[in-house]
Amino acid sequence: MYGLAMVKGLMVTLKNLTRKPFTVQYPEERLTQHPRFRGEEFVWYEERCTGCASCAKYCPLGIIKIVTSPSETAIDQGDKYRLEVFDIELQRCMFCGLCVEACPYDALFMGSGFEQGKYSRKGMFISIDQLRQSEKHPSTFFRPQLESTGYNPHKNRPLDWKEVGRESWNWHRQEKMGMRLASGPDLDNGSAEELEPAGTSSSDGSNGASS
């Protein structure tokens, strides 16, 4: 019979009329993201970072800028390099997470937020100071060690740098101590000259590396 299917369709509409809405009213109600959510802003642990610039090299857009200099004060604690600049140009970042994937020392994590709209382009820039001071709610993206503990960046407390590694901290300290430059400026001279980050001096010539 002509029109029967339309009546059937109308039944669906009626059924849905009485249903609870599926949508949420965003600014008032919020959905929580999964712990693996790749978001802003990046969580960076200076204590873990060796300045190897693997992240800068692996970034498809080359928006991470790292400048290191020979560390004089912290050598006893195992720090060979002092990080001077660690900038992330957030306006071009696409949150692919390849920098996190490339980090061998679990120093860089994706963040868990997504509401970081800014009024000016200058604001779309994460500097080393912001990274140092921001609250550390790392995403569990590409970090199985966090996932296995059931960590949820949206609910749980900020994490300390000693809690986030995939190896124990002792392993990491030894790794950092063992980082020697094959060639390079003599540290005793105390020259202020900028060192190439260890990663960029290889012959790959890939884009993205910066210093």
Nearer to another protein, 191 or 206 (CB): 206
* Total of chain residues touching another protein, rule CB under 8 A: 37
Shortest distance, position 36 Cβ to another protein, whole Å: 4
Q: Which is nearer to another protein, 29 or 76 (CB)?
A: 29
Cα-Cα-Cα-Cα torsion 161, 168, 111, 103, nearest 10 degrees, comes to 110
Report, in Å, the least distance between residue 24 CB and another protein. 11
Give residues with Cβ within 8 angstroms of 83, minimum separation 6. 46, 49, 51, 66, 67, 68, 128
x/- track of binding to another protein for residues 136-165 (CB under 8 A)? ---xxxx-x--x------------------
Backbone Cα Rg of the chain: 23
List, in order, residues 6 or more apart from 103 with CB less than 8 Å away.
54, 55
What sign does the CA torsion over 124, 211, 209, 173 have?
Answer: negative
Structure tokens given for 206: 């890939």
Mark 89-128 with x for binding to another protein (rule: CB under 8 A) and - for no binding: -----xxxxx--xx-------x------------------
Binding site for another protein (CB under 8 A): 2-3, 5-6, 8-9, 11-13, 15-16, 22, 33-38, 58, 60, 94-98, 101-102, 110, 139-142, 144, 147, 204, 206-207
